[in-house]
Chain A
Amino acid sequence: EDQVTQSPEALRLQEGESSSLNCSYTVSGLRGLFWYRQDPGKGPEFLFTLYSAGEEKEKERLKATLTKKESFLHITAPKPEDSATYLCAVQAGSNYQLIWGAGTKLIIKP
């Protein structure tokens, strides 16, 4: 069964303390892996799409990477405004529906 697992469930960091969020997946025929950010009471905000192992994408303090089994979202020198829930989703095989992870809640303390 296709599955997406995110870890940790929650992560508390001090402002400026870099870290990584993990999204591991077991699917047949990866077509794309997607990262979203979601603030409380809002809809998710699309961040990145990764299609193949070795691919990397960057946006401000965020960098997403992809291997054949997992993706990492690296956060460099985070600020309090980076606090949010980060969601990972995968599209696989002939099914165009996204398979979502449960998310990582990131809290950056000033």
Chain B
Amino acid sequence: DTEVTQTPKHLVMGMTNKKSLKCEQHMGHRAMYWYKQKAKKPPELMFVYSYEKLSINESVPSRFSPECPNSSLLNLHLHALQPEDSALYLCASSQDGTGTPEFFGSGTRLTVV
């Protein structure tokens, strides 16, 4: 199984809502990533969990918070988002923590209204 599974595929939320994005992989990979991608732009790294240690892109606002319940699961908790946070949110994994994502999920298309 060489899949990274993301749910939901689409999400519409209001600015006062709290929601979570979920990501799962069963390849035994030890690093998982959250990326944000706007239309016609490359992905931007938000967070990395590598060997259960979190690394953060300092430019990511605190309204995004990651959680790694175990080595196969990665969540992204969303709270009080802004319309400019609307984007495709991608999860990825890699066998080790070298920073090179090997497998990406299909993403969650998030719209903040």
Contact = CB atoms under 8 A, between A and B. Distances in A.
A44 B88 CA distance: 12
Contacts, number: 50
Contact of B42 (A41, A49, A91, A102): A102
Interface in B85-113: 88, 90-92, 97-107, 109
B8 interface: no
A41 B90 CA distance: 10
B43 interface: yes
B50 to A, nearest CB: 9
Contacts of A41: 88, 106-107, 109
Specify the main secondary structure of chain A where it touches its partner: strand
Given A97-B45, A101-B42, A103-B42, A91 B100 contact: yes
A53 interface: no
Interface residues of A, number: 19
Contacts of A97: 45, 57, 99
Nearest to A36: B104
B29 to A, nearest CB: 13
Interface string B10-52: 0000000000000000000000000000001111010000000
B100 A32 contact: yes
Interface in A30-68: 32, 34, 41-46, 49
13 contacts: A41-B106, A43-B90, A44-B43, A44-B101, A46-B101, A46-B102, A46-B103, A87-B42, A91-B100, A96-B99, A100-B43, A101-B42, A102-B42
3 nearest A-B pairs in the assembled complex, by CB-CB distance: A43-B104, A96-B99, A100-B42
